[in-house]
Amino acid sequence: MSGTATLLRVEDLVVEFPAGNGQRVHAVSGVNLELAMGEALGLVGESGCGKSSLARAVMQLPRPTSGRVTFEGLDLAALGGGSLRRLRHRFQMIFQNPASSLNPLRSVGKSIEAPLAGRERSERERLAREMMTAVGLDPQQYYGRRPFQLSGGQCQRASIARALMTEPQLLVCDEPVSSLDVSIQAQIINLLREVQRTRGLAMLFISHDLAVVRHLCDRVAVMYLGRLCEVAPVDVLFAAPRHPYTRALLEAIPRLDPGLPIATSGMLPGEPPSALHPPGGCRFRTRCPRAQGECSTTQPSMREVAPGHRIACHFPLPG
Amino acid sequence: MDAQPLLVVDKLCVELPHDGRSVRAVNGVSLAVERGRTLAIVGESGCGKSMLCRAIKGLLPGRARLAGRIVFGGQDLGALAPRERRTLLGRQVGIVLQDPLSSLNPVMKVGWQIAEPLQQQLGLSRAAAKARALELLTAVGIAQAAARFDSYPHQLSGGMRQRIVIAIALACEPPLLIADEPTTALDVTVQAEILGLLARLQRERNMAMILVSHNLGVVAGLAHETAVMYAGRIVEQAPTAELFRRMRMPYTQALFDANPRLDDPAREMLKAIGGQPPDLAALPAGCSFAPRCPRAEARCRQELPLLRDEGSEHRCACWFPLHREAVA
């Protein structure tokens, strides 16, 4: 990306899980991605497309089945437990359900300062209180509270504060606003946007909601059944998607306009196939309106169609 | 239009005990729905929209206390014996809830879950109920109905399960369908299909429908009329097109503005609503939205604004509504 240094590189990443009877869930099947310093990349797709598995593999939680994840040139797979733990300070993660990612028995303040274990106690508390203020949680009121005494939005603020305590360079966010109400969701989106800019954080933002991604990200990667379909700068992806799946996703979003009837054209027939037995060739072909013979025999590889715009499709939409 | 609406809800209150206090989940709601019309109810978690649905369908938890009237087809439900009420609601009101998995019996074939109400409520024979269930499976867009009849819920995808729940709700051909967040648990492409299905069924069967959602986009294309709820009360109600054209209540506007939109400029700040929804056990004296409202003045914090007509079938509960000049 425009000459900035690469912070994170994901190469040929594969994540598979055993599923009994000798079968395997093909959650992520050969994904390549790069993330520059300070860049926000959105990763979108429907449930079960492997986006969360990809995020967790980046975090080495657990380690991927194969492929490489390099962070600032360091191969994470090659690092032992201790060095990985030390390096983790520099890439942090926040989750969808904020209440369950905080220790219910600990005060919110103690949870926020936990990543600083080893530092002096008064110092830890001072930094935690500062961070609470920065994320819009009044430390006077909330430092001593337990997670169940906070609303969902406040818990998510606490999770963000905790993730920022070690001054990471990368924040991986897995559906961080999906369980929140619209009015609270907007507050958290604005907060993430603000911390991302002011701290120069790189962000891998996972979401099923394209409109949310549009507000937060510089680039977007669209994932379907374990593979990437399309990667493009945010404006390009929304204005002129080239992959049929991206277009179908965009068209399915209900519009805030009563004049428009609900979308029934261009809808995807059926539902995604099982990740136990993904279709051969292009994985989207079973639902794709443009699929032809070649799509079932040959897997389309990622190719660049414009600077920064990559797609994996034999018969892309006209640009 | 009928002389009398199919459903009339009059000053409905639902109180629930919570932490030794009493919480008003629904606080004086009045509404009416006619056959062939869809009323959307929009609001955030805890605004009382689901409790309102459950009150209409007679599914409130045992501890809940209900006040006000629900009149269905000219029949005051409060005047009926519990058994009669259950029979009437079972037949005449279908309901679709958010999570299809928890609405279905996990150890019963889905086909028989559709056939069961046909046997019990309508007294159909086993064979006739099965034949009717197969028709319903086809009507809700399930291909190979005969093969799917013998599936268990866990063998079906989320979208397919919600289609089954819709088929069950429609089995007795109810004149009223309540859909409480029917697509919230579904992916966006599946959501579009289910919304299209509901719209088609509502039209074909000339049903009345109450569609509950937190998402203004979902209701925009589907509802004839939209009511916005906040802290247990309806704060604005209008024909959907009118509501979107001229929102009066600052809360509706704020809810609309907080929604990330596809046609916004990318990477813009969203207009978030500050603060939190109020604690229902300790509602402020005046307007419940006043503590978060950019237009609030002293009067808003002291006097509760009542829902009143602003013209064009547009009702709102606000002392200082937006677009006031347009009315005067």
Nearest-angstrom CA–CA distance, A180 and B258? 12
pLDDT of residue A94: 94
Mean pLDDT on A235-264: 84
Cβ pair B262:A212 closer than 8 A = no
Mean pLDDT (whole number) for A9-37: 93
Is A212 in the B-facing interface, judged by CB distances under 8 Å? Answer: yes
* A125-169 residue pLDDT tens: 999 999 999 999 999 999 999 999 888 889 999 999 999 999 999
Nearest to A149 by CA among A183, A99, A213, A210: A99
Dihedral sign for Cα A186, B225, B242, B297, please: negative
Cα(B112)–Cα(B60) distance, rounded to whole angstroms? 26
Predicted confidence band at B45 (pLDDT cuts at 50, 70, 90)? confident
Single out the residue of A53, A263, A26, A242 nearest to residue B189, CA to CA. A263
Q: How far is CA A162 from the centre of its chain?
A: 18
Question: Residue A272's pLDDT is what?
Answer: 78
Q: Number of C-alpha atoms within 13 angstroms, CB side, residue A27?
A: 19
Place of tokens 């204005």: A239
A264, pLDDT greater than 60 = no
Cβ pair B191:A254 closer than 8 A = yes
Interface residue A158 vs chain B (CB under 8 A): no
Kindly indicate the confidence band of residue B1, based on its pLDDT and cuts at 50, 70 and 90.
very low
Going by their DSSP bridges, the two strands B75-76 and B65-72 should be labelled as antiparallel
Query: How many CA atoms are closer than 13 Å to the CA of A172, on its beta-carbon side?
Result: 21
From chain B, the residues in CB contact with A286 under 8 A are: none
B271 and A CB contact within 8 Å: yes
Q: pLDDT tens digit string along A54-113?
A: 999 999 988 999 999 999 999 998 998 899 999 999 999 999 888 788 999 999 999 999
Tokens of B231: 């802290």
Query: Residue A35 and residue A7: Cα distance in Å, rounded?
Result: 6
B191 touches chain A (CB under 8 A): yes
Per the domain annotation, does A154 fall within a domain?
Answer: no
At B157 the pLDDT is 85
List of chain A residues whose C-beta atoms are within 8 Å of the C-beta of residue B49:
none
The enclosing H or E element of A227 equals strand A227-233
Chain-chain contact of A190 with B216 (C-beta, under 8 angstroms): no
- A203 near B CB under 8 A: no
Contact B271 A186 (CB under 8 A): yes
**Which range has the worst mean pLDDT, B183-197, B198-212, B248-262?**
B183-197
Task: Give the DSSP letter string of A234-290.
Answer: HHHHHHS--SHHHHHHHHHSPPS-TTSPPP-TTPPPS-PPPTTSPPSSSTTGGG-TT
Strands (E) across A38-86 are located at 40-44, 66-71, 74-75
* Average pLDDT for chain A: 91
pLDDT band with cut points at 50, 70 and 90 for residue B4: confident
Q: Where are the strands (E) in chain B, listed by range?
A: 7-18, 21-33, 38-42, 65-72, 75-76, 93-96, 176-180, 208-213, 225-230, 233-239, 308-309, 315-316
Distance (Å, rounded) from C-alpha A149 to C-alpha A142? 9
Residues of B in Cβ contact (< 8 Å) with A241: none
Helices (H), A44-177: 51-58, 81-87, 108-113, 121-134, 139-142, 152-164
Q: Which of residues 266-295 of A touch B (CB under 8 A)?
A: 267-268, 271
Residue B3, pLDDT score: 64
Q: Is residue A27 part of a domain?
A: yes
In this structure, what DSSP letter does residue B47 have? S
Average pLDDT of B17-29? Answer: 89
* Contact across the interface for B222 and A262, Cβ inside 8 Å: yes
| A189 is a domain residue | yes
Q: What is the pLDDT of residue A317?
A: 95
Tally of domains within chain A: 1
Encoded amino acid at A271, one letter: E
Q: Do A217 and B268 count as a contact with CB atoms less than 8 A apart?
A: no
* 107-146 in chain A: CB under 8 A from chain B: none
Task: Please report the pLDDT score of residue B325 as a whole number.
Answer: 54
pLDDT, residue A267, reads 64
- Tokens for B117, please give them: 């109400």
Q: Which residues of chain A lie closer than 8 angstroms to B259, CB-CB?
A: 182, 186, 211, 256
CB contact, 8 Å: A184 with chain B?
Answer: yes
B112 touches chain A (CB under 8 A): no
For the segment B203-228, what is each residue's pLDDT rounded down to a tens digit?
999 999 999 998 888 888 889 999 99
Q: What torsion do the CA atoms of B146, B149, B153, B156 make, to the nearest 10 degrees?
A: 10
CB B107 within 8 A of CB B188: no
In a domain, residue A130? The reply is: no
Whether residue A123 is contained in a domain is answered as no
Spatial CA neighbour of A71 closest among A170, A174, A199 = A170
CA dist., res. A230 & res. A300, Å (int): 11
Residue A150 belongs to a domain: no
Percent of chain B's residues with pLDDT above 90: 68
Contacts B189 to A, Cβ<8 Å:
46, 248-249, 252, 267-268
Chain A residue nearest residue B269, CA to CA? A190
pLDDT at B277: 84
CB distance B276–A153 less than 8 Å?
Answer: yes
Omega within 30 of 0 (cis) for the link into A62: yes
Residue B2: pLDDT above 70? Answer: no
CB-CB: which of A153, A254, A259 is closest to B241? A259
pLDDT of A261 over the 80 cut: no
CATH number at A39 reads 3.40.50.300
| Best residue in B148, B269, B276 for a mutation probing chain A (most A CBs within 10 Å) | B276
What is the residue range of A24's domain?
A: 6-101+168-311
- Are A259 and B262 within 8 A, CB to CB? no
Among the listed residues A107, A167, A106, the one whose alpha carbon sits nearest the alpha carbon of residue A134: A167
pLDDT in tens, B85-124: 999 999 999 999 988 888 999 999 999 999 999 999 899 9
8 A C-beta contact, residue A249 and residue A222: yes
Which residues of chain B lie closer than 8 angstroms to A218, CB-CB? Answer: 267
| Residue A256 in this model has a pLDDT that exceeds 90 | no
A66 in any annotated domain: yes
Q: How far is CA A58 from CA A50, A121, A231, B88, in A?
A: 12, 32, 18, 56
The verdict on a CB contact (< 8 Å) between B261 and A256 is yes
| Inter-chain CB proximity A181 and B274 less than 8 Å | no
Given a cut of 70, is residue B23 above it in pLDDT? yes
Which of A153, A253, A262 is closest, CB to CB, to B196? A262
CB contacts, 8 Å: B235 with chain A? none
Summarize the confidence of residues B278-289 as an average pLDDT. 90
Residue B267 in contact with partner chain A when CB distance is under 8 A: yes
Give the pLDDT band (50/70/90) at residue A32.
very high
Question: Which phi and psi angles does B261 have, rounded to 5°?
Answer: -115, 155
Asked if B159's CB is within 8 angstroms of A271's CB, the reply is yes
| A-proximal residues of B, 289-328, CB under 8 Å | none
> A34 has which bridge partners?
A9
Residue A263 has pLDDT above 60, yes or no: no
The partner residue sitting opposite B273, judged by closest CB among A183, A212, A263, is A183
Name every chain B residue with its beta carbon within 8 A of the beta carbon of A259. Answer: 241
CB contact under 8 A, A252 and B160: no
Pair A68, A49: CB distance under 8 Å: no
Q: What is the CA radius of gyration of chain B?
A: 21
User: Is B268 in CB contact (< 8 Å) with chain A?
Assistant: yes
Those residues with Cβ within 8 angstroms of residue B90's Cβ, 6 or more apart along the chain or in another chain: B117, B121, B172
Q: Which of A151, A253, A263 sits opposite B262 (nearest CB)?
A: A253
Q: Chain A contacts of B217, Cβ < 8 Å?
A: 253-256
Model pTM score: 0.87
State the Cα–Cα distance between residues B1 and B36, nearest whole angstrom. Answer: 9
pLDDT reading at B326 higher than 60: no
The answer to whether the CB atoms of B272 and A46 lie below 8 A apart is no
pLDDT of residue B175: 96
Q: Given a cut of 80, is residue A258 above it in pLDDT?
A: no
